[in-house]
Amino acid sequence: MKKTLIKNGTLVTAADTFQADLLIVDGRIAAIGSALPAEGADTVDAAGLYVLPGGIDVHTHLALPFGGTVSSDDFYTGHKAAAFGGTTFHIDFAMQVKGESLHSAVERWNAKASDKAVIDYGYHVGVTDLNEAVLAEIPTLATEGIPSLKLFLAYKNNLQVDDATFFKVLLQAGDNGMLTMVHAENGDVIDILVKDALAKGRLTPEWHALTRPDWAEGEATHRAAAMAAMAGAPLYVVHVTCAKAVDAIAAARAAGQPVMGETCVQYFHFSIDNLRQPDGAKWVCSPPVRTAADQVALWQAVRANHLQHVSTDHCPFFMDGTKDLIYEGQPVRIAGKELGAGDFSKVPNGVPAIENRMPMLWATGVNTGKISLNRLVELCCTNPARIFGLYPQKGTLAVGADADVVLWDPKANHVFSAATHHMRTDYDIYEGWAAPAMPVKVFRRGELLVDGAEWHGRPGSGRWTPRKAHGEVL
């Protein structure tokens, strides 16, 4: 029997903040209380530290073939980075390729993940090619522990589906207790705007944002919510970036619809001004980083519960994939943002953020009084567990839950840098940003993965974790 006793910490859940000891036995939380007996346990003194549930990030793309290359974190490097940022569970997208069954997509993702995983994980399935056989597969996914699907209304001629496909999936998912997720941008309009910009010689990264206006996101979000209403199905809008999309979600919710959404940490902090920098390609992601006014709207949306989760859409690429990066002593070279030098439309879309998410939300949300520490736990740990069928196994500190537990030092004085981060990419969008609160010990099912600067994670020790259908609507 393996026992760890975390003593004298300040425990933080979505609902409470209190002083207590926390006892872990064989990977689960066995007791929470005062003066718990230390007999037979490894003891950790957490005086002065906050004890939080492990973070959950429901939007990541590890080893995703995309934009003419592949996202540069795999299920080992991405998990290591996640753990150093306080995240102990994530849900990746197993993406169907044209002509493929959904189960085949899951098998391909298993092949990428199982030998490498360190934190626990699950999948959503990304539907890109619907036919009767694929439609019939959908309910079986739910019974097999994958109760969520994702569709793209953007990326024309690639991942984009038409409204009929989206509507059929909403109906089928709704009938089977599954949640439909949507990338909501109007891909048809964007395609025309991009071609027009290129024809006029508008090639710099700022045109990535100017050809993907907030109207395209607001319209698609409204359309997706309207279709969910007609299907009588719940909807989850991924990576919301702007006031227009927040307004569409808030209106649907005010009308009583089960519509939920997330934003990603980077959308609070970066804007089209970053795309205008010489190294603007670093921030090319879709939907694009927007304006200061949209950032204000996003903070308001997470406070007002129009949005229930803060994820990352972690989809890293090298800035200069023509050069080696040394990762754990080995040279790695993966084509990246340089593919779009001289043409914004060819820059691989995506940013690294899995390690930054919770520290930066703490620094800029909690430490500025925009959200409470309890709300941070709710947004980053508890709500995603409830919505995506993991609660109470994960997402909270409770007796019987998996011991995914993170000790945070609120006086850490960390500064993010590509020189020291653990994401496998040559840049950090938060280069030079201070993170006053950082994880100092990270446990996944009771196993110590991160101990200060030390890494103890074992590839293959992370578990694919089945999730329940009929997740909560928050």
Neighbours of 458 (CB within 10 A): 11
Of the pair 60, 172, the CB lying nearest ligand URP is at: 60
Q: What is the DSSP letter of 362?
A: I
Which residue in the block uniquely carries the two structure tokens 């909560």?
472
- 160 Cβ neighbours under 8 A, 6+ residues apart: 152, 153, 154, 187
Task: In angstroms, give the least distance from the CB of 73 to ligand URP.
Answer: 12
Residue type, 19: Q
Write phi, then psi, for 111 (nearest 5 degrees). -65, -35
- Does residue 208 interact with Zn ion by CB under 5 A? no
To ligand URP, the closest distance from the beta carbon of 267 in angstroms equals 11
For Zn ion, which is the closer residue by CB, 183 or 208?
183
Point out which residues pair with 28 in neighbouring strands.
25, 402
CA distances, 171 to each of 43, 175, 220 (Å):
51, 6, 18
Contact 38, 7 (CB under 8 A): yes
185 binds, among ligand URP, Zn ion, none (CB under 5 to 8 A by kind): none
Element (H, E) at 365: none
Which residue of the chain is nearest Zn ion when measured via CB?
183
Q: Between 274 and 286, name the residue whose CB sits nearer to ligand URP.
A: 286
- Picked from Zn ion, ligand URP, none, the partner binding residue 467 (CB below 5 to 8 A depending on kind) is none
Q: What share of the chain is helix, strand, coil (3-state, %, to 5)?
A: 30, 25, 45
Residues 285-314 interacting with ligand URP (rule: CB under 6 A): 285-286, 313
Alpha helices in 10-144 (DSSP H): 77-84, 102-113, 132-143
Which residues in the 250-289 window bind ligand URP by CB under 6 A? 285-286
- Identify the residue among 271, 349, 383, 393 touching ligand URP (CB under 6 A): 349
Q: Which does 352 bind (CB under 5 to 8 A by kind): Zn ion, ligand URP, none?
A: none
Q: Counting contacts by CB under 5 A, is residue 150 touching Zn ion?
A: no
Q: Taking CB under 6 A as the rule, does residue 69 contact ligand URP?
A: no
Residue selected from 9, 350, 359, 457 as contacting ligand URP according to rule CB under 6 A = 350
Rg of the chain in Å (alpha carbons): 21
Among 183, 222, 337, 375, binds Zn ion (CB under 5 A): 183
Chain positions contacting Zn ion, by CB under 5 A: 183, 313
Chain positions contacting ligand URP, by CB under 6 A: 61, 183, 285-286, 313, 315, 349-350
